[in-house]
Structure 1
Amino acid sequence: MAYATAASGTSSDGSVGTSGSESMRLLRVFRVVRVARLLRLLKVKWLLETIGDAIPMSDYTSIVARVAQMMAILLYLNHVIACVFFATTTLGSYKTSWTDRYVEPGSDWRDAYMVALHWSLTQFTPAAMDVQPQNPLERAYTISVVIFALVGFSYVVGDISSCLTQLRNMSETSSKEFRKLRNFMRMHNVPRQLALRVTKFAEHAYSKQREAMPMSKVTLLNLVSEQLLGELAFEMNKPFLIIHPLFENMEAYATILLQRLCTKALVTKQLAHNDFLFVSGKQAEAMYFLSSGQLLYKKSMSEEDKEYVQANLDWVTEPALWLSNWEHLGTAEALGESVLISINAETFKKVVAHSNPAYIRVIQIYARRFLVWINEVPLHELSDVFQKELIEPQIRSFVPDGMLLGRSPSADLSH
């Protein structure tokens, strides 16, 4: 009889046990709220990580963003804890609650929330305040928050401390390197003007390197297969290469070859303002694509004959790939900080030699047509610079039509 009474929630005098059923309902509500809040927290964390991955950031910026992310998560956690602590005043049938003692009667709910938020923050830090739980429900909630804070506070503080240590190490490393550079200049009596130029460019290159994060700095990429590295390098450099019709054609019909070229033959080159890429009379060793900045090209035959090399529009010294004795016809100088992608001629030939024989033939046809055209150009019109808007139709006509139309390259082998 006693079991039946307890199960039905009815007392011995026939009254309904509202206290027990209300407690069970409140426990279920707490459980649902807790799960919902945790899911929302995971969603916020995922959203912050997604935003961080979508924005290009240097090592320094990413560490600062990580600290900001941890602070945001900590504030959100305290907001949730404060809201639940505030909600405990409306649950149960206790005579007193913390709001009755620590919040002025008739105060706005914002005042009570600020007190609850302050109380929540003190559970995660060594700080203290005079707000204390006033009934068993508030006491139980306070104990659970303190236990959670023991782990949560240690995790957040440890993560933030680790990030700040990384920032300090990065700052010390850069300061040490630039101090060594200045000492080197002073010990070797480098003229002040030149020393300032070297230091300024070193600072610019160092900041660019931190922002760009080259593949050599990513240790985990050493574990990636050669094919995946080729695909990665291909995707990074493809936008600059396919402005040339031959490399555009490679992307469509010889992707593996272009990936190998990106991995083995491509080198990134940085120039400071007024640096020379090459000078007149020097033998060409590479073909260049400008990824950022601008170059000024002057022919040696005429100082008034100038050309500007634009990023993602022009390419330089293509004959170096097809001739072994091409000498630069002028001088190329950087106008501001510039970044170039160079294709080494010798490495290009070695990579192509181990590619698909059919596409080797395609490249041979293109090279033969290109050299016939170069030999027909008057000497005073020859240049190291090839401007896309002027030369693209001519260069595109050298690529075998069968490849462009999607047919087998064997159709063009007889041409």
Structure 2
Amino acid sequence: FGITRVVICLVVANHIVACGWYSVGWMAEDPRGSWIAEADLESRSLTYKYMTALHWSLTQFTPASMEVSPRTTYERIFTVIVILFAMIAFSSFVSILTASMTQLQHLSSNESRQFWLLRRYLRDWGVRRAVGKKVQRYLEYAYAEQKNRVQEPEVRLLSLLSEPLRVELKHETFSHYLAGHPLFRQCSEQARAFGKALSATSLASNDIIFACGEQARMVTFVTSGALEYCVGLGPDDSPHAATLVKREHLYEGMWICEAVLWTEWHHVGDLVAVTECQVITIDAIKFSDDVRGNLRLAQALRKYAHKFVLNLNMVDLDDLTDLASQLFSPLDAIDLDDFAGFSSFADLEEERPSLTSCCHYLYQRLRGKRPTTPSPFSMPRRRRSSRSSF
């Protein structure tokens, strides 16, 4: 990206120089003695004249030559100025290109060495070929994802954030996926209350997320990849019934095991990763602890939980599944009046300081500079109405 930006700047600079070079020749005191007349361009089209001027400009920035040369004093002065500027610009471009290529080679060699060490480790410790391929395939996927998206540990500046801002940042990065659930979409900004319960996890192909009979501990939202869920067999089911079990696939925006948030729950099926994927989980215990601190949200969720459990109890035992959304819609348990007083994201956008302004303010303070903007932590906030207070 840095090289592309420099190339675009050079193209724009050459365009400006080409226009200036043509203007110097066109405004000469004696038009017959200018470079335009010497190159016999009077009868040529404007496009040909521009391309000739651009060609001349490019030769000043690179070690090349052409038949066009300065003929008047002003043209000579303009040429000297352009050469001095081009010398600095071209040298900077070469240094940036060299540094970028060196960095790229270093990253490539480091990547090759790490995977070479991985293969040697698997071989030296006698890891079975199937397991070794699975490990290598997942690490290749995880490494590619790390290069495509900046990870939180790579941004050391984030460690300076206060705990409330850290929770808010986590909520902002995960809210896009949580909004697929009608309940969390209604919670809006109040969903920040359980930001500590959120976490992101990467899974390898064929990883087992949970098995039938295990005690449930978290809700899982799929953000990329695919998961496969199948209901477990009962003790009275025949072996032939295993071939008739319907398998459900979960993709981005889907969730599973919501019931653990509202009642004690044991998994009634198996969940396995079909491909390498990433998921967001909500820890049920942390969720419960965090929500209790927000009275208004706790009241609304308590009513939702009561209706959810009532709907769940109406389902026949043989039809139970961890995919509660297939048994009944979450909208059936939502009372919009309970969430009517919650502020939306757009309502609070102007009144709260942005994360970018907070990070910039902290960075200036650490560098010992006088901040150019007032502290976002001391900005006055709109007073909450009694309707939206906790």
TM-score by structure 1 length?
Answer: 0.71
Q: Verify: 1:285 aligned to 2:209, yes or no.
A: no
Structure number with the bigger relative contact order (C-alpha 8 A, sep ≥ 6) is: 2
- Tell me how far apart the structure 2 counterparts of residues 387 and 310 of structure 1 sit (CA, whole Å): 12
Find out whether 1:199 has 2:136 as its counterpart.
yes
2:227 maps to which of 295, 300, 320: 295
| Structure 1 residue 85 corresponds to structure 2 residue 21 | yes
For residues 274 and 265 of structure 1, what CA distance do their matches in structure 2 show?
A: 26
1:385 counterpart = 2:323:
yes
Partner of 2:16, secondary structure, is helix
Superposition map of 1:254-273 within 5 A: 255-256=189-190, 258-262=191-195, 264-273=196-205
Q: 2:272 aligns with which of 319, 328, 333?
A: 333
Q: Which residue of 1 aligns with 2:97?
A: 160
Q: Which residue of 1 aligns with 2:284?
A: 345
d(CA) in 1 for partners of 2:105 and 2:276? Answer: 28
Give, in whole Å, the separation in 2 of the partners of 1:211 and 1:260. 30
Do the aligned residues in 2 keep the contact of 1:123 with 1:149 (CA within 8 Å)? Answer: yes
* 2:83 pairs with 1:143: no
- Quote the offset at 1:313 in angstroms: 5.5
Report if aligned partners of 1:403, 1:409 keep a CA contact under 8 Å in 2.
no
| Residue 240 (structure 1) shift | 2.1
| Larger Rg computed on CA atoms | 1
Query: What's 1:180 paired with?
Result: 117
2:90 corresponds to which letter in structure 1? F
Q: Residues 98 and 198 of structure 1: is their aligned pair in 2 closer, same or farther, counting only changes over 3 Å?
A: same
Give, in angstroms, the shift of residue 228 of structure 1. 4.3
What are the Cα deviations for residues 52-85 of structure 1, in whole angstroms up to 9, with x where unaligned?
A: xxxxxxxxxxx3xx31221122122112212321
Q: Does 1:248 align with 2:185?
A: yes
Q: 2:60 and 2:127 mapped to 1: Cα distance?
A: 59
Q: Is the 8 A contact 1:249 1:403 kept in 2?
A: no
Aligned residue pairs, count: 336
Q: Is the 8 A contact 2:193 2:294 kept in 1?
A: no
Evaluate the alpha carbon distance shift between residue 126 and residue 269 of structure 1 in structure 2; reply closer, same or farther with a 3 A threshold: same
The structure-2 alpha-carbon separation of the partners of 1:109 and 1:351, relative to structure 1 and needing over 3 Å to count, comes to same
Q: Is the 8 A contact 2:34 2:70 kept in 1?
A: yes
Distance 1:406 1:261, change over 3 A: closer
TM-score, reference length from structure 2: 0.75
In structure 1, the gaps of 5 or more residues are: 1-62, 411-415
Hey, which of these two has a bigger chunk of helix by percent?
Answer: 1
Partner of 1:365: 303
Q: CA deviation at 1:260?
A: 4.2
Q: Is the 8 A contact 1:309 1:385 kept in 2?
A: no
Alignment of 1:17-166 (within 5 A): 63=1, 66-94=2-30, 96-101=33-38, 113-128=50-65, 131-166=68-103
Do the aligned residues in 1 keep the contact of 2:224 with 2:279 (CA within 8 Å)? Answer: yes
Secondary structure class of the residue paired with 1:274: coil
Deviation at 1:101, TM superposition (A): 4.4
SS of structure 1 residue aligned to 2:180? coil
